[in-house]
Amino acid sequence: MGLNTSFFFRILAKCDVIRTFAVEIDCFKDMKKQKITDRVYYVGVNDRTTTRFEGLWPLPKGVSYNSYVVKGSRHIAIVEGVEASFVSRQIESIKAVCDGKSPDFLIVNHMEPDHSGAIRMLMLEFPQMVIVGNAKTLEMLEGYYGINDHVLSVADGDTLSLGDCTLKFSLTPMVHWPETMMTHLIEDAVLFSGDAFGCFGALNGGIIDSEMLTDGFFPEMTRYYSNIVGKYGKPVQKALEKYADTKIDFICSTHGPVWHDRVADVVEAYDRMSRYEAKEGVTIVYGSMYGHTEVLAEKMARALTLKGVKDIRMHNFSYSDISDVLRDVFDVKGLVIATPTYNGALFPKVEAFLQAVASRGLEKRVVARLGESTWAGVGTRKIDEYLAKMKLTVVSDAIEVKQNRMADIDETLDAIAADLVAAM
């Protein structure tokens, strides 16, 4: 009996279809795996339900808790956990990437619970996994979660081989907590940077900056930096110096996009912000009970416009969130603070603002002060008590308007605007 060749070829053709289909499924699985390099995968999560980060900072566009898997030829490492309530999603992604193997290491660059909250659950899921951190990390690990075994303590400059690739650890204290460190995957020029270079805003499909429109993330990076890391300019500078001569193709932060195309831009932004350098422009902040201080602030804005200032950002403290105000104060160089006198002191939200600025050690801003009152007129004196303790340049005498007596004020505001612009 001869071979039925047409049947044979039909079977072969079917095999081809099956193979093609299988390849397509694999491609789909690969797409879902969210590769960054041949051995680095994204296994982070998005949070669009938490309304305030750290209980303080609004999240109108959500936030991502980024985590990564590095697959070496001998060992697999997870870099960072996620916030506790999202750990099941992280575990699902880790399993999809690891193809049945168990991760050997969990690298903990930062212990703040938006990342470390997952650790207990990760240890239950992958009980043989060793947690890697520095001495301060491990002290916090025990304090927060009672974990003190299956740990590996690393020091500045230590390396960990995963077989065909190596992780190198650098301690970068106070970017953002004392235990913070960064991890460099040497062979792929990938820097796992912890909070540094992070931003608010969930990831809407794209993971790497080349997959998305990134301009909207930059104001959110400034907001993140000013709100969360702003106090630690000098430690950020030290961290930047540590990596000044290191080749970096990918910055894998704990929040926001993976930076690849725009590595130079985000490094420049961090360098500028951590030196407290700012762009041309003025933030005008004011509190106002019945609108008189607001009119004063509006007049000041017009005076600045007539002096050529185009970037003016106004914040009424009764409505603006301090988070957005800090973003703008970190972003532009000029600052006008206007307050009514309230209970023989400052308008409360103006006082809270001054405390927030002082606690971040803000420098290199030029500041003008405006006050309004019905009888006491001490607001600007109280502002000056705060400013005296800061490294800011104060211009012109403060003005105190009584009641609504602003008929002859334009000339004075014009002179203050001129001083402010000259000092910027």
Return the range that interacts with ligand FEO (CB under 6 A); candidates 8-16, 30-38, 109-117, 128-136. 109-117
Does 110 engage in binding with ligand FEO (CB under 6 A)?
A: yes
Rounded to a whole number of angstroms, the minimum distance from the CB of residue 224 to ligand FEO is 9
Question: Binding mask 156-195 vs ligand FEO (x if CB under 6 A, - otherwise)?
Answer: --------------------x------------------x
Report helix, strand or coil for 410: helix
DSSP string, 170-201: EE-TTSSSTT-EEEEETTTTEEEEETTT--SB
Tokens representing residue 255 in the block: 């929040």
Distance, in Å, from the CA atom of 412 to the CA atom of 239, rounded to the nearest integer, reads 45
Distance CA 357, CA 174 (A): 18
Span of 27-35, 108-116, 315-323, 330-338 interacting with ligand FEO by CB under 6 A: 108-116
Instruction: Give strand ranges (E) for 222-319.
Output: 250-253, 279-286, 312-316
CB 220 within 8 A of CB 58: no
Considering only residues 192 to 221 of the shown chain, the ones binding ligand FEO according to CB under 6 A are 195
Please state, in angstroms and rounded to a whole number, the distance separating the CA atoms of residues 139 and 261.
37
Interface with ligand FEO (CB under 6 A), residue total 8
Q: Which residue is nearest to ligand FEO (CB)?
A: 112
Strands (E) across 162-303 are located at 166-171, 181-185, 190-194, 250-253, 279-286
C-alpha to C-alpha distance for 264 and 227, rounded to whole angstroms: 22
Q: Find the part of the chain contacting ligand FEO (CB under 6 A) among 111-119, 120-128, 142-150, 385-393.
A: 111-119
Q: Report which of 297, 391, 288 is spatially closest to residue 346, judged by C-alpha positions.
A: 288
Pick between residue 255 and residue 315 the one whose CB is nearest to ligand FEO. 255
**CB of 112: closest distance to ligand FEO in angstroms?**
3
Question: Hey, how many other C-beta atoms are within 10 angstroms of the C-beta on 204?
Answer: 12
Question: Smallest distance, Å, CB 181 to ligand FEO?
Answer: 13
Closest separation in Å from C-beta 255 to ligand FEO = 6
Cβ at position 174, least distance to ligand FEO in Å: 11
Q: Looking at beta carbons only, is 110 or 327 nearer to ligand FEO? A: 110
Check binding of 80 to ligand FEO (CB under 6 A).
no
Q: Does 254 bind ligand FEO (CB under 6 A)?
A: yes
Applying CB under 6 A, the residues found at the interface with ligand FEO are 110, 112, 114-115, 176, 195, 254-255
